[in-house]
Amino acid sequence: MINIQTVKLPQSTGKIDLLKSTSSQREDLIRIPAANAGVDAFAKDLTPKLKNLKCEDHPTKTSVLKLVADKKDLVKVDKTGFCCKKFADSIKVTIKK
C-alpha cells in the first residue's frame, strides 16, 4: 500500500507592499500558491492510482510517497519512505510541465 503525503511551502500571512518588495518576494507571491496547489492536485490524481499497489516482497508494509512543493520545480517527488528500493524503483512518477 502507498500513502501519499504532501509537504507544502509556508505562505506569507502578512501584507507585502508591492512597490517596496523585491522581485524575489513578488515571485514568491505567485510561485508558492502555485506549488502548493500543484502538490494538492497531483496528490488527488495519484492517490486512487497508487493506494492499492503493494510490494511483492513486503505486502504488509505501507510505503510513503511524498509530494513536496518547491519554488523552482513546483512539485518534487520523494520516494524515501518506501519499504525497499526495488518497490520504489518500480513506481514511476513523471511530472510534465
Give the C-alpha separation, 3 to 69, whole Å.
Answer: 17
Give the model confidence (pLDDT) of 65-84 as tens digits: 999 999 888 899 999 899 99
3-class SS string, the chain: CEEEEEECCCCCCCCCCCCCCCHHHHHHHHHHHHHHHHHHHHHHHHHHHHCCCCCCCCCCCCEEEEEEEECCCEEEEEEEECCCHHHHHHCCCCCCC
Domain boundaries, the chain: 2-10+21-90
11 band by pLDDT with thresholds 50, 70 and 90: confident
Q: What percent of the chain has pLDDT over 90?
A: 66
Query: What's the whole-model pTM score?
Result: 0.84
